[in-house]
Amino acid sequence: MNKRRFIASTERLAMKTVYEELGSDVKILLNRKTSDGVEIVASAHTKPQHAVRLRKKLKAKFNKLRAKQLLNKMPEGKAQAKRWVQQLVERNLEVVTLMLMTSALKAVSMR
């Protein structure tokens, strides 16, 4: 069994983190208010990384499917394809930038 302690400002945030890191098959061992907010001690029969790996696999499959869909829409000619890719990147630059910033913030917060 794998026990973990989670502290968050609200119970909702704490439980969200519990489910994200341990998966849905968890047992709550302790739930109490603290000066920092809420403390939850939970345990899972599976390793916490299992849930993370599963989410990454699902996301990768989705991204692979999306990439195939985009490649099917790409024009035939080299110049047309290049222009199409440039337009695609320009249109989605804001989304890509937000995704990169979110990933960077998560990496910094985990240190």
Residues spanned by the domain of 19: 1-73
Answer yes or no: do 22 and 35 share one domain. Answer: yes
Domain total of the chain: 2
Q: For residues 90 and 47, state if they share a domain.
A: no
Is the same domain home to 69 and 82? no
For residue range 50-97, list pLDDT tens digits in order.
666 666 776 766 677 777 777 777 777 878 877 877 777 777 777 667
Closest C-alpha among 17, 21, 15, 28 to residue 48: 21
pLDDT of 37 > 80? The answer is yes
pLDDT in tens, 90-101: 777 776 677 777
**Burial (CB count within 10 angstroms: exposed 0-12, middle 13-18, buried 19+), residue 93:** exposed
Looking at the fold, whether 63 and 9 belong to one and the same domain comes out as yes
Q: Are residues 29 and 55 in the same domain?
A: yes
Are 43 and 4 in a shared domain?
yes
pLDDT at 7 over 80: yes
